[in-house]
Structures are given as structure tokens and as C-alpha cells.
Chain A
Amino acid sequence: MTRHALIVFGGQGRFSARVLPPMITRLREAGCTVVLASAPPCPESLQEVDGLTVVSLRPERWHPSGTPVPTTSGSGRRGPMGRLVGRLDPRSLSAGVDRRVRARQPEYADGRQTWSWVRASGDTMAAAAAADLVVAANAEAVRAVWELGRSHPGPEVVTGMAGVEGVLDAWRRASSEG
């Protein structure tokens, strides 16, 4: 039985991108079709993966150089008049973490951005509706996949390679028992 997997990859860190090729290979070995919804540019390491369906998340937000165009400032986002809206309490722990991460890594695509890109991507939402498994490949994709799980009760929703292995193991055990 062919199963369908959707991998969501938010952000573009080289370190976290390394997890994608073995994850895709592992899912295909287990008989899954794989769709990757990735914040552009698509990690170089994936250019060697034949026949991979890649959905680019909000490419218009990215400069051709591959550098993301900032869409948020601090813990909020810019409204139509350039005013900060939806800003967290700047004294909150979350806002502090956000500031520190952004200071270290200005191109960081956070969980909020990834979720808004996923929600706006018809192809990604269609893939989620057809999926048996949705995987958050890195931390920036966790919120998006968690929200997908809330709106789609069917698929398994997991994080990381451990989640992939866990679900494949559960499927394997279910098929051997049934």
C-alpha cells in the first residue's frame, strides 16, 4: 500500500537541511511518496534527489540572491502602514528569545512565518489533505505541522527523523500484527 508523506521544512539552515536527504530516502524505501514543502531556496543537497516534488513556500518573499526579505520586526510584523502589529509583550520570555535568535541569525525564518507560508500555499495544503504522514523537518516547521494536524485529523504529525522512524515502526508493527 502506497502511503503519502509531506515534509515541511522551514528556514534554510545548512545544518537542519542535512536531515532532509536521509529522511526522504528513508520514506521512499518504506514505500511512501514524498512531497517537500520548503522555504526557498531549496537546499542544495536536494538537487540530487530525483523526482522529488518540491513546493516552494512564498518564493516572492525571497530575494533572488537567496536572502530572505525581512517580513517581521522583533516579535511582531509590519502592518500596511509600517506600524508594528501583533507584537508580543517585549518583556515576555518569548519576545526575549525571539530577539536573541534574530540577533544571532538575521535570516532566521521563525515558526510563525513558516505557518503563514504553509497556510497560504494551496499546493501544501492539498498535499497535507492527502498525506498519511506530515513531518516537521526542523524546529521552524513545528508550529505549521502542529496546526496542520489540528485542521487535518487523518495523518500522523511528527517532528524530526525520530518521528519518521517511530511512525514507520508503528506501521510495520501494525501490518505484521494485522
Chain B
Amino acid sequence: MTSEGRPAAERPHALFVGLPFPPSRTGGVNRALATANGLAAAGFDVTVLTVDREFFRRNKGVDEQLETLIDPSITVVRVPLSLPRQEWNLRRWSRARVYSPTAWLERRTRRTAQVFPEANYSEWADDLVAAAFRVHRARKVDVTVATVNPNVDAYAAYRLHEKHAVPFVVDQRDAWTLNQFDGTRALAEDSDEARWERRIFEAAAEVWFVNDAMRAWHAATYPTVAPRMRVVMNGWDDGLVRPAPPRTGDAPLRFGYIGTLVPPVPLQELLDGWHSAVADPALDDAVVDIRGHLGFHPVPNAEMVEQLRAAAPDRVSYGGPVAKAAVADTYAGMDALLMIIQGGPYVTTAKVFEYVATGLPVVSVHAPDAGCVEVLRDYPQWFPAASMEPADVADALCRAARSIRGSGSAERDACVAHAERFRRDRQLAPALAAVRRIAGLAEVSP
């Protein structure tokens, strides 16, 4: 054993810090899972620091099957987190909170922000850092990879670096100080959050972003860190999604959406466009099938429930969430996919990678400069709406319908070939090689 308790012949030890981790069904969980599994495949013994299962049950929702996809060599350490602000059990509320809710909230926020300035998740900061230190004491950590959000994940990596000189990588999957939807600053340059972001970035060995627009904005904001910034795009996960079989027969066309619909997604724009198009002969008997969660939380977003209910006479149905393991089969039952997202160049979404992997035609209802266009631009069966106006959305839907009826396996094969470059392992490989280098290991491809 070395002086730090590590047998010399052991594989290097990577600590992965990420609240989004199975069984969570939140955004980013696939990327986190793939990164942790990728680290294991790249030769690391991996310890994951994440939150307890109960947190997801209470706040975010779970997909139990995702846990079966964790590499069995990975050690998962779960650090409990309760979010008092989201506590629904009134027996756990204090009198002060009930009688002066605003004052209670302000006091609470002021107290936790002294540790780390992140709403809600600052509650987790001390416990998470303590857990990271325990992991390191038990066995020396060679490198940490922290994925956000929450940004407190990166804070733990920063503290471990500060105290024990463990190099770390921040996967800045979501922006913190940038408003990804409109490109403006979400938090002032002199805010506590911006100061912490700068401090963490400057200490990090690398900072990863999901698209080049995000990288460029942060590079301009933190020019000294720019050379250590990297784009690690999302991708589709082999085994979770596969090419859909070619359409056979003349059943009504099925336009589908699979994923979490989060406001302000242009759902109404899609439904209005569909309403305009539904009488077109190209869409004879065609249906829209929306699958997934409505909103971030276990409780469906009431406004979306109402929007979908109102669209039912137009042959729009909502089929509820799909377990990860059933996603491929669900895609196989669809004829075209609906890409409905909000935001501009900073928002790529992970969904677009799954979509192209199916080889199915994709109808886009989003801003023309949305980040997903980087993936869809050369996709052979892409039908973007020229605008969010109902007539343009209807036109895209009808073009897609006509194309589906006139195409066969050659078009499908071309789409699948296009998607090959967006496989998750291909996207991750250079980044994982860099993590090996940061840990002081030979730079070999995993």
C-alpha cells in the first residue's frame, strides 16, 4: 500500500460527482451514466457520488430500470439530500415557516448561500464535500469528473482539488450564469454565482460543454480558461435505441414525440399547426402520439395536460411516460418524430441524437438556429418548419407525410448512416482520453 492507502498495482481511481444519476429520470442522467460507465471502460475504478433514491422518488421521478445499466464495477455512494422548499409533508414544516413563509425562505436562503450560492442545492454542499473527502480518505482519488447541474456537484470537486490537489473536470452540461434560452446573462457578472463559476473554471483541468455555442460564450467570458474548454456533444446510446424498422402496410401515419416536455416548449405551436394540417389528405387519419413526462416533476404539468386534452379531437393522444428499456420499441411503432424544443443555439437537447439514431423522418418545430440543427442539418429526412406559425408547421408535417409514403429502406439507411457519427461512445472517447491524461496516465483511447 502507498502512504495514501492505495495498492500500487490498482487501477486509477476516478470520482464522478453528479446528482443526475440512475434511478433518476431527470435530464442529463444518460450523459452522467454514460460518462461514469465510460470512465470504468477507460480503465478507472469509479466511485460515483450522487443523491439518495428517495430524493428522486419525492422530487424528480424515477426509472428503476436505469439502475441496471450501471457498470457493475462502479461503487455508488448516495448522499441524502432533502429540499425543505419542496417538502410537501406539512408535519415537517415549522411554525415559523407556516406563519411567515417569505421570511422563512429568506433566512434559509441567506444561511445556505454562505456556503455556496445555489438555490435549493446549496443545502447539499457540506454533506457532498464531506462525502468526497471520505471517499478520498478511503482511497486516493486520481481525478474527479463533476457534471452539472446542480452546480454544487462542481463545488465538491473544487473543494477536493483545493484540499487534496485532486485534478478535476467540470462537465458544464447546463449553463449557470448564461440564460440558454435567450443568450443573455442569467446572473450578473459581479454576482456570487458568477464569482464561483470563475473560481471553479479557473481551477479545473478541463471544462466541457454540450455544443460549440455554449463553449464560445464561456470562452469569451473566461478567456484564460478557453484553452482548456472542450465540446463533448451528447449522443445516442447503443443498446437503448436502434434503427426503426421500415414502414409496412398502409396504417395511419403516427407522428410521435418521446421525451420530457418542459415549459416553455412550443407544444401549443405544434398543436395549432397540426390542427391546421389535420384535414390535409396527406395526413389522412394520421395521429400524434405524445409520450413522456409533462414537466420536470412527478406531477404532470397541469397546463400541458389541458393543452393535450383540448387537442384530442384532432387525433392527438398522450400515452404517458416510457421506461428507458421500452424506448426503442416505442420508436419502432412511429412513422415520424416531432422535434419540439425551445431556445436557440445554446440548446441542443439529448433527444435529437435518439431521433436520428432511429432513422425516422424528423419534423422540427423550433427556432431556426436551435442547437439541434447542428445534428439535423444534413439529415436526409429532416422537415423543419419555416416558422412557428401554424401554416408553416402544417406545411412541414404534410411534407413529411408525403415523403414517408414515397420512401423506403434506402432513405432509412441513409438516415442511419448519418447518425453513426453521433453515437455516445464516439462523442465521449476524446474526452475520456483527456481524463486519463489529466490523471497522469498514458493517453490511450478507451
Contact = CB atoms under 8 A, between A and B. Distances in A.
Interface string A134-153: 00100100110110010000
Contact of B90 (A22, A111, A157, A161): A157
A160 B106 contact: no
A22 B295 CA distance: 15
B98 A146 contact: yes
A149 B102 CA distance: 21
Nearest to A94: B100
Nearest to B300: A22
A70 interface: no
B91 interface: yes
Given A93-B100, A94-B100, A94-B102, A158 B88 contact: yes
Given A93-B102, A93-B106, A142-B98, A162 B90 contact: no
B86 to A, nearest CB: 7
Interface in A67-99: 93-94, 97
Nearest to A134: B90
Contacts of A145: 90
A93 B91 contact: no
B302 A158 contact: no
A145 B305 CA distance: 27
A106 interface: no
Interface residues on A, range: 20 to 34
B99 A160 contact: no
A149 B302 contact: no
Nearest to A98: B102
B247 interface: no
A18 B305 CA distance: 11
Q: Binding site of B, secondary structure by majority: helix, strand, loop or mixed?
A: helix
A90 to B, nearest CB: 15
A97 B89 contact: no
Interface residues on B, range: 20 to 34
A13 interface: no
B103 A94 contact: yes
Given A142-B98, A166-B58, A158 B90 contact: yes
A159 interface: yes
B93 interface: yes
B308 to A, nearest CB: 13
A18 B90 CA distance: 22
B408 to A, nearest CB: 44
B102 A165 contact: no
Contact of A22 (B57, B102, B305): B305
A43 interface: no
B82 to A, nearest CB: 13
A97 B100 CA distance: 9
B444 interface: no
Nearest to B94: A146
B373 to A, nearest CB: 35
Interface of B: 57-58, 86, 88-91, 93, 98-103, 106, 297-300, 302-303, 305-306
